[in-house]
Each structure stands twice: as structure tokens, then as C-alpha cells.
Structure 1
Amino acid sequence: MKRIFAAAIAATLSAGIAAAQELKPLNSDSEPDRMDWSVLEANLGTLPKLPEGLKVGGVSKTLTNEYWRSLGEGYQKFADKVGVSVAYQAAQSEGDQLGQLTIAEGMVTQGYKVLLVSPQTDANLQPVIEQAKAAKVPVVNVNDAVIPQAEHYVGNVQRDNGVRVAKWFIEKRPSGGKVAIIEGQAGVYAAVQRTDGFKKTIEDGGKFQVVASVPGNWDRQMSYDAATNILQQHPDLVGFYCNNDGMALGVVEAVKAAGLQEKVVVFGTDGISDAYKSIAAGELTGTVDSFPVLTGEVAMEVALRLVSGQQLPRVIATPQALITKDNYTQFQGSPDEIRAVLMKAASK
């Protein structure tokens, strides 16, 4: 079944690329046709009048991960603000590519007028792009896998997640040492960019050696096991960078089990509430928060502007920040309070 599904995806992807040659494959980090989230209204004006009875569909990776639940909260928050109906559904797990595809295809056939999708991989929702295009349904690719032929993307600069953590190591651990990376799902755009950003930046610093870079597949237990093995092989390790917070929290447990919490620092990515709690408790060293509630609000606004007929840049960039014990209290509060903090920072 998996081989048949993979073959179908590959065939549709090839057809999609041939049918949309005017679009270069999207690299959301470097796409020049972009706008920052903070200037959407200033550049485009207030939200236009929306069609009557508008139904918006949101398709996520999974709801077992807090990040994706928070993204959905952002969708709902903005939809409630403007009186729009939104349905938010997700696959059973972050590996359920076929389940996610089935949900997205169903939304197109059920008459949803615009879709917000967060793909499992860079390829598994490509068939929906073609189906939606034929039905004149705009699709917004929202963090973190990137569909190459997506016409619109909302999310942060994935490479910067890793770069920010690497710069922390270079500044705070100037003597250098051995570090390891726990990657997300192999081949997924966000995992590749986060890993490459960290690895290149920290190695260019000249003092650090990346001794291991292994997949944790977004899974906490798998990451715990991977970190345990790495620590056994490299007891002099000074730190880990993990592609998401769930994996990072698994690594924290492995570090504690090895009795190395005073020597080994651990960073994650996403900014989930458990990461903040762990930072406050002095366990997780830090995370790169990509503010999923705000990202969801921005993505919903983009979707509604598109369905109203506005022309938008291909990429709308959303904020991110390195969070440690030194600044985590600045980013705690209601979504509106956090939005105000980020808007102020963007205006500087």
C-alpha cells in the first residue's frame, strides 16, 4: 500500500510541476516575493468584504502535538473575529500521509472555498494543490513542510531556527566542544533547513564538532533513545539541538538519566508550553518559539484576503525568537499581549 501511495504521489507531483511551470519550486526561506506579517494591513489595507457563507478548511499534521493545536487556535481566533466558519482536521499521526491527503481532498469536494494546509511531507499534499486549482480554491501552505508548487506560504524562516541556536552556543560556550543534532522527519523541508542552519553556523565558528546528527522523527521516545546512545558514545558532549520541542524534552530526560544535566545543554524548536515550563524549571536550556497562535491568525488572514480576490506575495513571513531563562517571561501572556510584544519588536 505504501509503495502504491508513494508512486501515486510521485506521478501527481510530476504532473503538477509540468502543469505549473510558471512557478519555480518554492524555497520559503529565500523566496524574494515575500512580505513580513507585521505590515500586512499597512500594505494591503483592511480585510475586504468576504463572500457570504464562506467555509474555510484547515488541515494539520496531527493534533497530538501542541504546536499544531495552537496553530488551529490561531485559525479559529481570527475566524471568530470576522465571523467565518472554519473546520480544522488532522491526520492521526505525523506519519499518516494518506490520512492527511484524504482529509484535504474531502474538503475540496465538500465545497470549502479556501484551504490552509500543513503537509506531512513536501510531496504528500501535492495532489490537493492540483485538485484545488482546478476547483478555483486557493491553498495556503502553512509551516513547516513546503509543497514545491504552493502559490502561497505562511511561516517563519526555518533555517533561522538552527542559526539562532548555533549563535547561542558560539556566544555562551566560547571554548567549543562536541554537539549533536536530533532531526525531525527525514527529507521534510523544515527539518532539513533547521538542521543545515545549525550545522553550518556552528561549524563555521571553528570551535565545535557535530559528532552526531540522527533522526528523531518528531517522536519523544525515539529522541530519548537516540540521545541515550549518543551520550554513551560521547560522554563529553556539551549540547544538543533538536528540530522540535517534543524531541528536545525527550533528550532532556536522557540527559537527566545520564546525570549530565549540569554539563549538557538542550535546545528545541516550536515554543510549546511544556518547553516554557521546562525552561522555567532549569531543565531545557531554550527553544526557538515560532508563535503558532499568531502564525495561525496571520495564515487565516492571508487565506481570507486571497478568497476575497486580493493579490498577495508568495510568502508571508511570521516571527520567531530564541527563548531562554533570560527572556522567557517576556513571551508569556495572552495571545494578544504576545502579538503586541512581537509587533513592537518588528517595528524597531
Structure 2
Amino acid sequence: MSHRTSTPSTVNRLGAVLVAVLVLALSACGGAASSGGESAQRTIAISFPNYARTPALQVEMEAAEERAAARGYRLVLDDPGSDLDKQVSTIQTWIPQRYAAIIAVALDAKALEGVAKQATAAGVKWITYGSALQNQTGEVDMQQQAGGRVLGEMAATWFNEQRGGTGKVAIFGYDEGEWARARVEGIEAALREKAPRVEVVARQNALSETEGVDAAANLLQAHPDLNGFLAVEDSATFGALKALPDPKSPDMFLGGMDGTKESLETIAAGDTAYRASAALDLVAIGAGMVDVAANAAEGTGPTTYSVSYLPATAGSPELEQALARWA
């Protein structure tokens, strides 16, 4: 059997091959790390309490997904419900990943101030939705109290015209949400100013249709002389309508906020006690929240998005405008 001895040229060729393989391997690892970094830099994380059980907010999230894709970003969505600790801990897991931006609806603005500071210190842009923080990069200004006033003023007009300015109403809010508390404040302020003899006899938490049905049924038993339900979410108002012994009662005023398709269509029909909605352009807001986050991350364009509410009542041009957004 013969034995071959490697020549210097053979060794050199073998060494070159090994070096080339090593370079390729290192490049592949570096490429994977770079790709992961780029992925994080094209990610916007959204912490939005209770969106999963609120139809109007689901429309916003769908619009946000579409706008994010159009701008080359992916979304990470989290619904912490009413659990502040969960909201904080989840956001704190996002910060080390160096996402491009975090959008947060604060269950407690004071509690999130420190988290926002951590995020911005790490180079993550922070967009506050519905409230304002000192350490934010941008804001989705929902004008919550102003929106509540729109609903309160529509209710006051109806009570003044139909009941001589008197009546008893219940308000459906959400005590654990700063945004909802602001809406309730706006509703009540408008009633005090425009129809001071309309009495708020009950306040109860209700956001979904099911919660609205249950809450309204209980309140009608406790207060059979109620003349209205005003809710910070149209879904809860629609539930209240289902709980009425007479959905067409001429002595009842039901109103909500956000302008869901089902609610607007019911108001447009004009044959029930559901009479008004302080309506938003939900699709525009979903797109707007992504735009301000992307603008902040890219360092160009506005980083504040402000909304307005349409006083949608049967036969009004505002109702037609709000319905057109769902077409």
C-alpha cells in the first residue's frame, strides 16, 4: 500500500478551504443576529387593555395591522385586561428586545411613568394612547373628556326637548380605566351644564354587550323610573337596548360612544330608544397610532395624533358621515 505525503500546496489549499468555511459560518451567524435586530427594529408593540372584548377596539387593531404592514412593520399585541401588574411586566419584557416603539393604553398612568422612562432610556420610542406621560415620545390624543361631553350634550338636548329638562339616567363606565373615567366626567359635566335637572342615579361598569344587558336589567329593577342609559362604549349601550321591556319606548334615551357599525345602523333606523353616538373614525385611529409610532422610530413626521367625535343622531349629516366610514 502506498502512502502519500501532503505537499505544502495541498496544506495551503486545505487551510484556505477551512478559512472560507469559517468565514461563511461567522457571516451566517452575524446575518442571523443582524436579521433579528432588524426584525426588532421593525416591530411595534401595543399594550391595549380590554381590546379583545370590545368590538370597536378590534376594528382599530385590524386597521393598525394593515397600516403596519403597509409601512413595513409587524405588530405585537397584548391585552392585559384589568391586570396592571400584567401590563407592566409584559411591557418590561419588550424593552430589552429594543422594539422600534411601544404604544400603551395606561391602566394607571402613574404606574407606567417609570416603565416609559425605562423604555425611552433604552432607545425604544414610547407612544401613550389616551393619556399623557412625561417620558413619552408621542401621543394618541383621544380627547376622552371632550368625547364624553359630546354624548352628554346630545342627551341633554333630547331631555330638554322631550321631557322638559328632567329625567333619571344611569351611566355605564369602567372605573379601572383612566380613559373611561375621563369620558364619564365629560358626560356628567355636560349634563350638569346643559340639563341640570337630569339626575344620574347609578354608575356601573359595563363595556361589552353582555355586560350592558346584565347591568341594564339589574338597574331597571332597582330604578323602574329610569329614562336613559349613557355608556362610554356603544357595545354596552346596545346591550342596554336589548334589556329594555320596550326597545321603542318614547320615554327613553340610549346613547354610547365610538360609533360601532351595528349601533350606527340602529340609530339610523330611528325606530328604537337608541338615539345617539359620539362616533369616532376607528379605522383612521388604528392607522394613526401606527403612523405616530413609525414616525417616532424613523425620526420624521408628526408624533401626535388627535381625534374628534361626531355627534351622530338619526337623520344628521354626522351620522351619514360616520356610517360612510363603515361602507
Tell me how far 1:114 sits from its aligned partner. 0.9
Does structure 1 conserve the Cα–Cα contact (< 8 Å) formed by 2:238 and 2:263? yes
Match of 2:258? 270
Q: 1:280 to 1:207 in 2, by over 3 A?
A: same
Structure 2: unaligned runs, 5 residues or longer: 1-37
SS of the residue corresponding to residue 93 of structure 2 reads: helix
Does structure 1 conserve the Cα–Cα contact (< 8 Å) formed by 2:104 and 2:128? yes
Match of 2:294? 304
**CA shift digits 1:122-156 (9 cap, x unpaired):** 3454443132122111111123x555654422132
2 CA distance for matches of 1:137 and 1:55? Answer: 11
Q: How does 1:47-62 map to 2 (within 5 A)?
A: 54-61=42-49, 62=51
Aligned length: 281
2 CA distance for matches of 1:111 and 1:75? Answer: 20
Q: 1:229 to 1:148 in 2, by over 3 A?
A: farther
Match of 1:226? 215
Match of 1:332? 323
Q: Which has the larger helix fraction?
A: 2
The more displaced of 101-110 and 240-249 is: 101-110
Q: Which has the higher contact order (CA 8 A, sep 6+)?
A: 1
**CA shift digits 1:211-249 (9 cap, x unpaired):** 324121424444333333433344333322111112212
Aligned with 2:310 (options 321, 324, 328): 321
Tell me how far 1:318 sits from its aligned partner. 1.6
Does structure 1 conserve the Cα–Cα contact (< 8 Å) formed by 2:100 and 2:125? yes
1 CA distance for matches of 2:301 and 2:75? Answer: 24
1:59 is matched by which residue type in structure 2? S
SS of the residue corresponding to residue 53 of structure 2 reads: coil
Does structure 2 conserve the Cα–Cα contact (< 8 Å) formed by 1:89 and 1:103? no
1 CA distance for matches of 2:132 and 2:170? Answer: 21
Structure 1: unaligned runs, 5 residues or longer: 1-50, 338-348
The higher radius of gyration belongs to 2
1 CA distance for matches of 2:283 and 2:226? Answer: 35
Does structure 2 conserve the Cα–Cα contact (< 8 Å) formed by 1:139 and 1:151? yes
Match of 1:103? 90
Q: 1:98 to 1:91 in 2, by over 3 A?
A: farther
1 CA distance for matches of 2:187 and 2:325? Answer: 30
**CA shift digits 1:287-333 (9 cap, x unpaired):** 112222211211211112211224856x5312321222224333234
Does structure 2 conserve the Cα–Cα contact (< 8 Å) formed by 1:285 and 1:325? yes
Q: TM-score, normalised by structure 2?
A: 0.74
When the two chains are superposed, the root-mean-square deviation of aligned CA atoms in Å is 2.9
- 1:171 to 2:157 alignment: yes
Does structure 1 conserve the Cα–Cα contact (< 8 Å) formed by 2:157 and 2:194? no
Q: TM-score, normalised by structure 1?
A: 0.70
SS of the residue corresponding to residue 227 of structure 1 reads: helix
**CA shift digits 1:259-281 (9 cap, x unpaired):** 67332110011112232243245
- 1:293 to 2:280 alignment: no
Does structure 2 conserve the Cα–Cα contact (< 8 Å) formed by 1:122 and 1:148? no
Does structure 2 conserve the Cα–Cα contact (< 8 Å) formed by 1:121 and 1:146? no
2 CA distance for matches of 1:123 and 1:292? Answer: 27
Aligned with 2:77 (options 89, 94, 105): 89
**CA shift digits 1:9-43 (9 cap, x unpaired):** xxxxxxxxxxxxxxxxxxxxxxxxxxxxxxxxxxx
Match of 1:240? 229
1 CA distance for matches of 2:255 and 2:134? Answer: 29
- 1:195 to 2:167 alignment: no
Identity of aligned residues (%): 18
The more displaced of 296-305 and 97-106 is: 97-106
